[in-house]
Each structure stands twice: as structure tokens, then as C-alpha cells.
Amino acid sequence: MINLMGATRQPVVAGSFYPASPLELRAQVERLLGAAKPATVSPKALIAPHAGYIYSGPIAATAYATLAPRAAEIRRVVLLGPSHFVPFRGLALPQADAFDTPLGQVELDREAFALLAGHGVKVIGAAHEREHSLEVQLPFLQVALGEFKLVPLAVGYAQPSETAAVLEALWGGDETLIVISSDLSHYRSYQAAAVIDAETAQAIERLEGDVIDGEHACGCHPIRGLLQLAKRRGMRVVPLDRRNSGDTAGDKSRVVGYGAWAFV
């Protein structure tokens, strides 16, 4: 059994990536979800971006808006994102038993931790302390789903087979949603980003994870693990939205790419 007893993990990008005020944050997320035009799908897994909401919020909202028809049945979210600040090998849980956001506390799913035995998952508190890739997804999940329990995993350098095995162990049934947090290319010209992000989209939609590296997506390691498992399970990938910061925030000189996909 993995022991995660510890303090509640506090938000670190509230007030910068998204509003720190609960009222303002809920209003912004509800506005983004209301403006989204989601595909009619029933996703088992999603890929969604994790930048400041002014930049990636509309794309993330397109992903989370797909959950409305089955929000009541989703009780567990398995959330994987890259570790931007702490390098390590494999996948890591936090040294905490809950995550706080301005919208309230999200309890970690202790029952799920037993499923991770034998998969080499570590507890590395430092990998989660400053990490925004998981945090920024939580307000969207709180508004879209209401109550749920969380399995938060920071992903360092991990082979696709390692990540796929962890996802397989946590797969569950209709009660479990998988979310991979990743942006696409970083700080390229608008034209260059369009080319490489199209390559990434094609690879994701063809379940060809081998071609995706850190130049394509900061979350390349969790993405590659999901693609490997999705291919093995015969899943279909539905593109939901793909834009960049030049499309959403106006500055097209150096952009970051964002995409959203559903796995059904």
C-alpha cells in the first residue's frame, strides 16, 4: 500500500494562471464551458492543455464540455501531467492526501493506490509542489463533474509501456476518467507552430506515439503511454479542438500550441 499521508497540497498558480477568487474562477470556467462547442462523444480519456486560462482555457473547455452527459457517473479522475521543474524517472504521487483549489478540496482516491502496487510508482512531494500541469485541470473538473476523487500522477522520464501499465491498472469502468495534461509546441512562430502541431495531431489521431517527443508536446511521456494503451484496446481518437496562443490571446510572434482530444 502506498502511504500518502501528508498536508493538503495548496494551489500555486491561483491568481496567475486562473483567478484566485472562487466567484471569479467559477464564473470564468462556466463561461468557457458555456462557449465551447464539444463533439458528441462519450470519452474514456481526454488530452487537455494546461496553460493560463486566457491562453488555453477555450481549448480545455472544449474537452471538458464533452463530459456533461455522463458527469454523474464519473467518480474517479486519473490525472497525469509532465513534471516541469523536478526531473525524475517514472511516475510520482504527491506527499499529500488532498488538493486544494479556490473552488474547494479534492480528495485523493486511497482505494486506487492499492492498484499501483508493483508498478514502481513513487511518492515524490517535490514533483507536485510547484507543478501547474495537474493543478490547472482541477477547476474545470470541479465545475464539470462536481464531486470526484483524484489520482494525481506527475510523469518524469517514463517508457510508454510503464505509463500504459499504470493506466491499465487504474482503468476501471464508467466511473473512471483518464486525463492527460499537455500543451503542444512551445515558443515558435505562428507558422512553424502550425506545422509541428499538425504533425503531433496526426500522430495522436493515428495512435503513433513513437514520433512524439518534447519538441512536439511537453506531456510527451504521458501521451505516449496513453496512445500505446489506446492502440492495444482498439480505441478511436476524436479531435476536439486545436489552436495556439496566437489564436486565443492575439500575439502571433511566439506561440504555444494547445490541443484537445477524446478517446472513445
How does pLDDT run across 226-260, given as a tens digit for each residue?
999 999 999 999 999 999 999 999 789 999 999 99
94: nearest Cα among 140, 139, 155: 155
Asked, for residue 64, whether it belongs to a domain, the answer is: yes
pLDDT the model gives residue 7: 87
- CATH at residue 240: 3.40.830.10
Using CB atoms within 10 Å of the CB of residue 146, give its burial: 0 to 12 exposed, 13 to 18 middle, 19+ buried: exposed
| Phi then psi dihedrals of residue 191, to 5 deg | -70, -45
pLDDT the model gives residue 250: 77
pLDDT the model gives residue 1: 45
- Rounded CA separation 170/69 (Å): 22
Asked, for residue 46, whether it belongs to a domain, the answer is: yes
Domain of residue 219, residue span: 22-263
Q: Which residue has the cell 509501456?
A: 161
Using CB atoms within 10 Å of the CB of residue 190, give its burial: 0 to 12 exposed, 13 to 18 middle, 19+ buried: middle
Q: Could you give the 3-state DSSP secondary structure of residue 31?
A: helix
260: nearest Cα among 68, 65, 27, 120: 65
256 has which bridge partners? Answer: 186
Asked, for residue 77, whether it belongs to a domain, the answer is: yes
pLDDT of 69 higher than 60: yes
Q: Which residue has the cell 496526426?
A: 202
- Rounded CA separation 263/7 (Å): 34
Asked, for residue 115, whether it belongs to a domain, the answer is: yes
Q: How many domains does the chain have?
A: 1
The pLDDT tens digits for 93-140 are 999 999 999 999 999 998 998 899 899 999 999 999 999 999 999 999
Give the pTM.
0.96
